[in-house]
Amino acid sequence: MPGSATGLFAISPARSPPSSSIRVRADSSPTRPACFAFVTSRKPHVAWNKWAPTTIDNAAWPARWQRSSSMHERWLDVCSSGRWGETSVIGDTAMALGADRQTGEQVLAILGFHKIGEPPTGNRATWFYVSEATFGSFLSRLQDDAWHVLDLQTFLVGVAAPARLPERSVLLTFDDGYRSMRQIALPWLLRFGYPSVLFVPTDFIGKCNEFDAGIEPQEAVCDWDDLRELQRHGVSVQSHGASHRRFSELAPGELEEELHRSKATLEAGLGTPVEAISYPYGDGGVDPQAVDAALERTGYRAACLYGGGPNRLPVANPYRLARLAIGPDTDLRAALEGKIQRRTS
């Protein structure tokens, strides 16, 4: 069925904003960091048909978004260095996807989100914030354009055996494990019947995004109760490393320890296999072959970069999968067609 979720989920045709009934409770326990105090009341939902069209230029950094020098430059450094594109379909292949669509070749797009919703009071939104309205419009676009949204297991099987996937497949992924995933993104995913993947840096479960201190607004990371609730509702919780350090900064022994520790922590806490990882900052390491070998030894079946276009199947390397970096100005249709490869400034 076009526009459906492939795997465990069935699509819901409704387009009204989702109920907020499953959003996380306010938790301001004095035993937790101050960033764990949340306000559960939110602004009224904007009706779907009143959303302003998304004006999108994926090569600009509008002045109205705070230019977070460190994180944005880290991302650009990964992109410009080529570390995210050694063997994935980012160059001419991504640009050729329009022609591929004509020949019936299979396309697998992986969308990479970070924060859904608005920043904490008193903070300006950086490019890594996607508003609730924009997020809902992205999900609607996938439905309208007949993309099949995969669950993780269908995705992993399809990477190894592409014939088992539809012609136009997409995987929804979210980095860093922010609690907005449960509060805001999950109701929308349930409304559309879409599964997804949450990549979590295990050292920060139940804490804050200390890895971006002074760079991005302080946000809470899901605790174990949040992760279990997400998992019950079709979100596969996978690895984003343990310390959120760039892989290019890790010695070989440290890299192996990161992979083992994050995998073991999640499997012990959630009781389900961890078989996929997204590289922190999209940094796949200085020695891709060594990283790939370490991933294979530790039981990972796929690894996602951050940047590039859709992947054409069969993929050259399951440990170097291109992922569309999704922000508030992304033209999703153009990105899915391979017309936008990456941000440039």
Higher pLDDT, 87 or 201: 201
Q: Assess contact for 218 and 120: CB atoms under 8 A.
A: yes
Nearest of 19, 16, 38, 17 to residue 27 by alpha carbon:
38
* Average pLDDT score over residue span 105-121: 96
Alpha helix locations (H) across the chain?
Answer: 69-81, 92-95, 97-103, 132-144, 152-160, 180, 186-192, 224-232, 252-270, 288-297, 332-336
Residue 105 pLDDT level (bands cut at 50, 70, 90): confident
Positive/negative CA dihedral, 304, 333, 56, 343: positive
Say which residue the tokens 């060594």 belong to.
290
Mean pLDDT of 192-214: 98
What is the percent of the chain where pLDDT is above 70?
68
pLDDT tens digit sequence for 234-268: 999 999 999 999 999 999 999 999 999 999 999 99
Residue 23 confidence (pLDDT) above 90: no
Is 169:107 a contact under the CB 8 Å cutoff?
yes
Instruction: List the structure tokens of 18.
Output: 């989702």
CATH architecture observed for domain 63-336: Alpha-Beta Barrel (3.20)
Q: Band of the pLDDT at 12, cuts 50, 70, 90?
A: very low
Mean pLDDT of the chain: 79
Tell me how far apart the alpha carbons of residues 67 and 47 are, in angstroms, rounded to a whole number: 30
Are 324 and 333 spatial neighbours (Cβ–Cβ below 8 Å)?
no
pLDDT at 9: 47
pLDDT tens digits along 163-180: 999 999 999 999 999 999
0.85 surpassed by pTM: no
- From the list 7, 299, 300, the residue with the least C-alpha distance to 153 is 7
Q: Cα–Cα distance between 69 and 73 in angstroms, integer?
A: 6
